Structure 1
Amino acid sequence: MWVFRGLSGPRAPAQLQQGLLAAWCRCCRASSSYSASAQPSRVRALVYGNHGDPAKVVQLKNLELAAVGGSDVRVRMLAAPINPSDINMIQGNYGLLPKLPAVGGNEGVGEVIEVGSSVTGLKPGDWVIPANAGLGDSVIQNASNSGVGQAVIQIAAALGLRTINVVRDRPDIQKLTDRLKNLGAEHVVTEEELRLPETKNIFQDMPQPRLALNCVGGKSSTELLRHLAPGGTMVTYGGMAKQPVIASVSLLIFKDLKLRGFWLSQWKKKHSPDEFKELIFTLCELIRQGQLTAPSCSEIPLQDYQQALEASMKPFVSSKQILTM
C-alpha cells in the first residue's frame, strides 16, 4: 500500500506476532483500504482504474474513510515500498490481479490509531504489517438468491469481502444476476457454469475463497469444495437437494479442506444471550447504514396460508412468503 501519512485499512482482523506486530490488512481495494490523510474521515490514496503504464494510470485521489466499529482497525501508514510485483499488478501482467479500481501496493508498516469495540488483540500505538497480499478475501456460496444468500452478499460487501454466488439456471437468469449484483455480488454463476473449466478465470483477479457456504448438498456442494483454497472450510447449514455432501479423498488430504456444520439453534445454546444480542445489534447497525436490506417478500393474509405454502414450494421463487395477521 503506497501512502504518505495517515490512515489505512479500516477492516483488518487482528492477528498478532511477537516483536513487529502483524495485522491482516486488506490494502489493494479502494473500497476497503486507504492511505494518507490528516483528517479522520478522508484519506489520500494512489489509485489506478485500469492497467497500463504506472506513471500514467496511477492517480492521487481523495477517498472517504468508513467509521471504525466492531472488528475494524484503523492504521496510520508510516512507510511502504514500491516492489516489482506492485508494478506488474498495475501493468496487468501479474499472476493475481485486484478488482479495479485498486490502491497500489501490498506491503508497508503502520501504526494502529483506533480500534473497534470488539478488537482485543490490538491497541493504539501498536505497529502492524500486512500478513498477506492485500487483495481481499472471497466467499463462495450456493443458493445465493435465498434470503440467507442475499444477506451474505450484503454483509460480505460491508466487510470488504468478495463473493462468488452460485444459483440454479432459470429463464430470467439475467434479471436475477442483475439483482444480486445490485446487492453487492461480485460474480454470479449457474451450477452448470461452475463445472466448466473456464470458471477458473474468475480467480485471475481475485483469490480463491477460503470459506464456502453450502445449503444445497449433493453435486453443488462438491463443486464448492473444488474451488476452495487450500486449508479452506465449507460450512453446511442446509440440504435442499436432500443429497449427501461428498468430498474426495484428494481434497481432504492434499488441500486440507475442512467440513463443518452450522445450526442456529445449537449456536444459541452454546453462546450467551448477550453474544446473541450483540450479533443482532451488529445486523441492525448494517440495516441502519443501508448496507443490509430484507430479501424480496410477498405479504399474504393469514387466511390465504395455502397460497403462501404453495408459492414457497415452487421452483425458482426468490420472494419470501410473509403471513400477515
Structure 2
Amino acid sequence: MGVYRVVGTMSWRLVAHKSAWRRLSPALFRCFSVKPSVRDCTALLYRNHGEPSQVVQLETLQLPPLENNSVVVKILASPINPSDINMVQGTYAILPDLPAVGGNEGVGQVLEVGCNVKTIKVGDWVIPRDAGLGMWRTAAVLNADDLVTLPSEIPLLSAATLGVNPCTAFRMLTDFENLKPGDTVIQNAANSGVGQAVIQIAAAKGVHTINVVRDRPDLPQLTERLKAIGANHVIKEETLRRPEMKELFKVCPRPKLALNGVGGKSATELLRHLQSGGTMVTYGGMAKQPVTVPVSSLIFKNVKVRGFWVTQWKRDNRHNGEALGSMLNELCTLIRTGKLSPPSCTEVSLKDFHKALENAMKPYISTKQVLVM
C-alpha cells in the first residue's frame, strides 16, 4: 500500500493499488507526490555581505509549505560562479534581501508539485529561469514559473552548469554579428567557463577561435586542454602586442567579433585586432579596470562596442518562452552529440564548502567548483 500526500485542502489518503490511483482525474493526480514531503534543508546562508569565507555559514532551514503554484525541488548540484562570489560580497548588480542562500545556478529534481502546476511534473530536472533563487542548498520550495525543465538524460555537471556560461556564450555568438563558417572570433579569459563554452559552440558552427589566456606555470597543459575541445589558436596576453599576430592573420581572417571578460589593456588589444565594422562585446571585468577605446578604432575602423549580461537577456525574454526554449534545446543537442561538455569541474560536498569557496577565488584555477548535494 502506498502513501501519497495530497496538496491543498485535501488530506492524506491511502491508495491500495496502481489501478485505483490511475483512475483519478489528471488535475487531482498532479496533487500527489510519490515521495514523503521534504520538511527542511541544509543551506549555505549569509546574513551580511562580506568575504564568503567569513560570512557564509552552513545552516538547517525549515522549508515553507507547498503552495498551489510551487514545487518542491531536491537540489542535485550547483556551481560556484564569480557572480555568486560578487553577490555574497555585495558588489553585484542585483542583490537579494538578507539573509540569503547563495548560488544562482544549478540543477534539481522535482519531488512534489502544487495542484495548479501544469508545466512541471514529479521527477523532472529543472534549472532556475533567473538569478537569485539560492541554489546552494539541498532542497527548496520554488514557484514553478521560476523554473525551466531540462532533459534528464544529459550529464549532471552539464545540467548544473548550463544556465549561465553556455547561455552567455550562445547569445554573444548569435546576437551581435552574423557569423558564418570560416569567420573568426577572438576572446580573452578563454579558460573561463564562458570561454570554454565559446570555443565549443563556435567549433560546432565552423567558426574559428583565437583564445587569449594569461601566462601561467601550466600553460602547455591548458593549451592542450583548450585545443582538445576545439580551440584553433591559444595565445598569451603578451602575444597580442607582438608581430606574431600578423603571421596569425595569414592563416585566418581578422575577427568579426571580440569577446571581452577581462577589461583594461586586454580589451584594448582585442579591439586593435578586429576587422573594420567588427564588434567587441564585454561581459565581464576580471581585471577591474575600465575598457579604453582608441579613437582610431572608432573613426577609421568603425568598430562597435557593446555589453552583455545574460540575466538581463533572460528578464527581457521572460515572457518569450520560445527564445529561451530554443536556445536550451540547441545547447542540449550539442551536449547529447558530444559537442558541448561542461568546464573542468571539481565536485565538492556541501560540508566542504569552505574549501570550495577558497578554491573558487584563487587565481589561475582552471576548474569550476561544483557543490554536489
TM-score (norm. length: structure 1): 0.58
Alpha-carbon RMSD: 1.4
1:277 and 2:328 aligned: no
Give the 5 Å matches for 1:268-307. 268-271=314-317, 272-307=320-355
Structure 1 partner of 2:356: 308
1:264 and 2:310 aligned: yes
Q: Distance in 2 between matches of 1:172 and 1:322?
A: 22
- Cα shift readout 1:122-163 (whole Å, capped 9, x = no counterpart): xxxxxxxxxxxx971000000000111011001000000000
- Cα shift readout 1:166-200 (whole Å, capped 9, x = no counterpart): 00000111111011011110100000111112222
Deviation at 1:277, TM superposition (A): 1.1
Query: Secondary structure at the residue paired with 2:186?
Result: strand
Q: 1:179 aligns with which of 211, 222, 225?
A: 225
Counterpart AA for 2:258: A
Q: Distance in 2 between matches of 1:229 and 1:158?
A: 23
Q: Is the 8 A contact 1:215 1:238 kept in 2?
A: yes
Structure 2 partner of 1:85: none
Number of residue-to-residue matches in the alignment: 193
Q: Is the 8 A contact 2:279 2:303 kept in 1?
A: yes
Unaligned runs of 5+ in 1: 1-133
Deviation at 1:165, TM superposition (A): 0.1
Q: Distance in 1 between matches of 2:181 and 2:331?
A: 25
Deviation at 1:304, TM superposition (A): 1.1
Q: Is the 8 A contact 2:181 2:207 kept in 1?
A: no
Query: Secondary structure at the residue paired with 1:269?
Result: helix
Q: 1:147 aligns with which of 185, 189, 193?
A: 193
Unaligned runs of 5+ in 2: 1-179
1:321 and 2:344 aligned: no
Q: Distance in 2 between matches of 1:203 and 1:276?
A: 36
Q: Distance in 1 between matches of 2:183 and 2:245?
A: 18
Counterpart AA for 2:283: Y
Give the 5 Å matches for 1:108-257. 136-257=182-303
- Cα shift readout 1:3-46 (whole Å, capped 9, x = no counterpart): xxxxxxxxxxxxxxxxxxxxxxxxxxxxxxxxxxxxxxxxxxxx
CA gap 1:155/1:163 in 2 versus in 1, 3 angstroms: same
TM-score (norm. length: structure 2): 0.51
Counterpart AA for 1:188: V
Q: Is the 8 A contact 1:140 1:213 kept in 2?
A: yes
Q: Is the 8 A contact 1:135 1:207 kept in 2?
A: no
Q: Distance in 1 between matches of 2:308 and 2:244?
A: 31
Counterpart AA for 2:348: I
Structure 1 partner of 2:104: none
Query: Secondary structure at the residue paired with 1:204?
Result: coil
Query: Secondary structure at the residue paired with 1:295?
Result: coil
Q: Distance in 1 between matches of 2:181 and 2:296?
A: 28
CA gap 1:238/1:135 in 2 versus in 1, 3 angstroms: closer
Q: Is the 8 A contact 1:215 1:240 kept in 2?
A: yes
Structure 2 partner of 1:9: none
Counterpart AA for 1:295: P
Query: Percent same amino acid among aligned pairs?
Result: 62
Q: Is the 8 A contact 1:135 1:206 kept in 2?
A: no
